Structure 1
Amino acid sequence: MAVCARLCGVGQAGGCRRRAPVEEEEEEEVRAEEAPRSLLQLPPEILVEIFSCLPGTQLPLLALVCRKFRQILSTDTIWRRRCRTEYGVHENLRKMEVTGVSCREVYVKLLHQYRDILGLWQPDLGPYGGLLNVVVDGLFIIGWMYLPPHDPHVDEPMRLKPVFRIHLMEKKTATVECMYGPKGPHNGQIQMAKKNEFCTNCLQTDYHRMSGGRQEEFRTWLRDDLGRTLDDIFHEHMQELILMKFIYICQYDNCLTYRRIYHPPSRPDDLVKPGFFKGTYGSHGLEIVMLSFHGMTAKATKITGDPNVPAGQPTLEVDLTRPMRLPSIEQLRNFSELSRLVLDIRDLISREQRLAGGVEDAGSSSRAEPAQAPSPVASVEESAANGPDASENGEQQPQDLQAFVLPEEVMARNGEYPRSCRVCFYGTGLIAGHGFSSPERTPGLFILFDDNRFGFIWLELKSFSLYSRMKDKFQNSQPPSPEAFDEMLRAMQLWTT
């Protein structure tokens, strides 16, 4: 009634000329003024704080609610926080206002527009493959190609080469630039071909030209990208030289396709942390592999390849149910002794497989249940406990390490391999002729040195490959599910076959 007296000009004694429903509505409005209950009645600074906490993809919907929301969403503070929170942009975004580019434009026209290409990719370069990491780098989106260190320095860091970059030019749309060639950045294009696949195209290939012509360009590509020379190639198949020349032309002068790959998922019982490693491959130099775990099997899949075994193929498969005890150092130096131990396990596996197949064919109901597979962690502990505990000079090794030395007949491009290891397992390596002809899996020895290094002895080739972990941090690279990662591995094998 006090409200009615104020609005109608009469007191309670004189009665009220307003109807009850109207009075109730006015009373509700007064209560709303005294204690705001809706977002519309909150102060603008509070709304800015609330909207800054919402994902940027939901903010356009808020702008459709009312004019007040639309005005508040024009505040750059909101979009500055979204740029930092969602994409890790830690640059001083206030400086951009001087150039006329707002944080909202950075988010909408650059970061959000190209969000689908962030992460890890493999280029379609025939058998050679590769590893591309697309990241937000300051106020740019840059595609970095990862190149292995020069052979045989496997423990050195990766070499990074920018392939393309995307940025905003004032208030225009995002600009794509090709970064290849000696003349600096120039116009390029990026197209999302389909889900988990995109293409790049250079629009000014004259920027790739060198004064010495194609021959100088090709030599530079071999030296900088592959760490090889023409003399190295001439000592191998001429077909490889022709193939590499074709790939070079396709890589930089035509549209190049990239397919998404994921960082392998990790589980608590994995032997070591899965990830990307760089390793030696005989005359082919250093290549990148991806170590992943699948139950009691470990796989090393080629990310970069060569004309014999292309990228995408499982170069190593390790049976984690078959740990091997290393003999003494003197016996280990004898290749025949090591070969005998590995082949004995191969023959045992073959007999078990034949026996299992024979029982199945007979349809016997008395078939024995397979034994429970041991944990790989338990295998490490057991093997370490039973392994030799003395090094070559008689010094005691830590309890969890075994002394290790390469057999004298085994070739190693890098003699600086570790002289102790945690555990060894039986495994197989994939070898093939030129052009991936007649591929076959051959037995070998997988050696886990530590958390960041492992090796493999190829019995048939009498060679040793040493692998060292890539310690780069890859963002936007985790698979949505373990099934998605397994599907990606199957697809990788089809890309190059």
Structure 2
Amino acid sequence: MAVCARLCGVGPSRGCRRRQQRRGPAETAAADSEPDTDPEEERIEAPPAPRCSLLELPPELLVEIFASLPGTDLPSLAQVCTKFRRILHTDTIWRRRCREEYGVCENLRKLEITGVSCRDVYAKLLHRYRHILGLWQPDIGPYGGLLNVVVDGLFIIGWMYLPPHDPHVDDPMRFKPLFRIHLMERKSATVECMYGHKGPHNGHIQIVKKDEFSTKCNQTDHHRMSGGRQEEFRTWLREEWGRTLEDIFHEHMQELILMKFIYTSQYDNCLTYRRIYLPPSRPDDLIQPGLFKGTYGSHGLEVVMLSFHGRLARGTKITGDPNIPAGQQTVEIDLRHRIQLPDVENLRSFNELSRLVLEVREQVRLEQQEGQHEDKEPAAHPAQEAAAAQQPAQSGQGQPFVLPVGVSSRSEDYPRTCRMCFYGTGLIAGHGFTSPERTPGLFILFDEDRFGFIWLELKSFSLYSRVQAAFRNADAPSPQAFDDMLRNIQALTS
């Protein structure tokens, strides 16, 4: 504001000239007694630039200048003078701020019919609810979830993302709107719950604290049906699956239990969401980090976040199950210990694969006993050296892959070639996250968008496929913020 005041001619610069004009005779004589400058320098000295005030600029130019400033700075600018305050009521300024800061591409001129201005949209909708934009994990017991809150047209909408139906891991994510916020009138924004057979209807959003907010439906009776929750659940099955409960109960029992829990608890109670970020990427990452859909036996498909941390890669559950809850680190891959697979015929033997993995586990154990630094390259194991000599000449060339006999998989539609494999560990536990332990396994990188993990102790295979959805406002502000987020969501379920 001080800069604006000086430009307008009301700040210290004017006062400085007045002080010069008020100098007395003694001060004037002292100034005159100063040595004269060189005449040659006076001749080449440029004349002072004419002073220009923002107040002298035409309103059209001021509108263009103000429209280029961040919307958060404009209220302070309005306090400078009456002229600025009057110009800042121009809708062109706020239309541009809505578009550039929040991506509103709708024709905002339509709002004039409803009496709502672009300034109202910016101040009462977009700016007020800016803190809930982004990616969130709902607190639904061990199950977690994935919510993306975005500006969609003239609405702010919370989209719940669900994995595809088991076992179709390559299918796209399913998504449904949970709530929306929009301006029905000039006074304030309206929050609406999007679920229920009478919806949409009145809801409520409260920002609990930084990176946490809650939603509540104010008309939970609109989620009720005359036949009770059994009818509600059967109706949901018909709409979601297009089949009856009896047709799919035995095939997808665990997934049905999960979805029933979410369906019956999410809309009756106040639900809390905690912010999550997409993992940052670096040039030396094995593949692009991000979200992946993975198969988990009878638990169906779950969403896992793959991130890289130096010589380690970690898979963190965004959605979970009663055994391993959301937030826990499901797999950890040691990128220092690459495993070269045998030929296809030997790979069919589970014992042969188990021998290779357990040899590397013993090597890792010895390295830990010797206190080797995590970032230090370990000495090559003799078996590893022999395997390295058999690797393809081209680093990008794939090698044949087949699951060993006896290893179970939810889907037989897995890739038959892979790029490389690494030693890793997987987290297993009993119901209720009892007796958790990390067991050895094999990480298989198929391509940029798919990887797998063989759990030796369970004799099972999980296939993961990249989530291709574009999530907005989901990037971490810094690597440290992402690491803090991982620790926080894991601590909630420990």
Could you say whether these structures have the same fold, taking a TM-score greater than 0.5 normalized by the shorter chain as the test?
yes
1:47 is aligned, of 62, 78, 89, to: 62
- The answer as to whether partners of 1:147 and 1:225 remain within 8 angstroms in 2 is no
Structure 1 letter corresponding to 2:357: V
2:183 is aligned, of 168, 178, 187, to: 168
Counterpart of 1:392 in structure 2 is: none
Cα separation, partners in 2 of 1:83 and 1:442, compared to 1, 3 Å? same
Secondary structure of 1:129's counterpart equals: coil
1:414 is aligned, of 411, 414, 417, to: 411
**Structure-to-structure mapping, 1:452-491, within 5 angstroms:** 452-491=449-488
Cα deviation, 1:359-384, whole Å, max 9, x if unaligned, reads xxxxxxxxx8888339xxxxxxx989
Secondary structure of 2:267's counterpart equals: helix
- The answer as to whether partners of 1:36 and 1:42 remain within 8 angstroms in 2 is no
Counterpart of 2:338 in structure 1 is: 323
Counterpart of 1:212 in structure 2 is: 227
**Structure-to-structure mapping, 1:363-442, within 5 angstroms:** 372-373=376-377, 386-387=390-391, 400-442=397-439
CA distance in 2, matches of 1:456, 1:436: 20
Cα separation, partners in 2 of 1:172 and 1:399, compared to 1, 3 Å? closer
CA distance in 1, matches of 2:242, 2:444: 27
Q: For the aligned residues, what is the CA RMSD?
A: 2.8
Counterpart of 2:122 in structure 1 is: 107
1:81 is aligned, of 78, 91, 96, to: 96
Counterpart of 1:193 in structure 2 is: 208
- The answer as to whether partners of 1:403 and 1:419 remain within 8 angstroms in 2 is yes
CA distance in 2, matches of 1:78, 1:173: 21
CA distance in 2, matches of 1:485, 1:89: 28
TM-score (norm 2): 0.83
CA distance in 1, matches of 2:131, 2:340: 48
CA drift at 1:335: 0.9
1:118 corresponds to 2:122: no
Structure 1 letter corresponding to 2:115: G
- The answer as to whether partners of 1:383 and 1:423 remain within 8 angstroms in 2 is no
2:108 is aligned, of 69, 79, 93, to: 93
- The answer as to whether partners of 2:158 and 2:177 remain within 8 angstroms in 1 is yes
Counterpart of 2:445 in structure 1 is: 448
- The answer as to whether partners of 1:328 and 1:388 remain within 8 angstroms in 2 is no
Name whichever of 178-187 and 145-154 sits farther off.
178-187
CA distance in 2, matches of 1:370, 1:155: 35
Cα deviation, 1:250-282, whole Å, max 9, x if unaligned, reads 311010000000111111111111100111100
TM-score (norm 1): 0.83
Cα separation, partners in 2 of 1:36 and 1:105, compared to 1, 3 Å? farther
Cα deviation, 1:146-167, whole Å, max 9, x if unaligned, reads 0000011111110011000000
CA distance in 2, matches of 1:406, 1:449: 13
Counterpart of 1:353 in structure 2 is: 368
CA distance in 2, matches of 1:243, 1:447: 28
Counterpart of 1:158 in structure 2 is: 173
1:295 is aligned, of 285, 310, 320, to: 310
Counterpart of 1:393 in structure 2 is: none
Structure 2 letter corresponding to 1:72: I
Give the unaligned 5+ runs of structure 2: 1-19, 23-48, 379-385
Cα deviation, 1:309-346, whole Å, max 9, x if unaligned, reads 00000000000000110100001111111111011111
Cα separation, partners in 2 of 1:241 and 1:136, compared to 1, 3 Å? closer
Secondary structure of 1:49's counterpart equals: helix
CA distance in 2, matches of 1:371, 1:290: 23
CA drift at 1:207: 1.2
Secondary structure of 1:253's counterpart equals: coil
- The answer as to whether partners of 1:278 and 1:288 remain within 8 angstroms in 2 is yes
1:67 corresponds to 2:82: yes
Give the unaligned 5+ runs of structure 1: 1-19, 23-33, 357-367, 375-381, 390-396
Q: What is the identity percentage for the equivalent residue pairs of Structure 1 and Structure 2? A: 71
Cα separation, partners in 2 of 1:224 and 1:340, compared to 1, 3 Å? farther
CA distance in 2, matches of 1:116, 1:226: 34
CA drift at 1:196: 0.6
Structure 1 letter corresponding to 2:415: P
CA drift at 1:224: 6.7
Structure 1 letter corresponding to 2:270: C
Secondary structure of 2:324's counterpart equals: coil
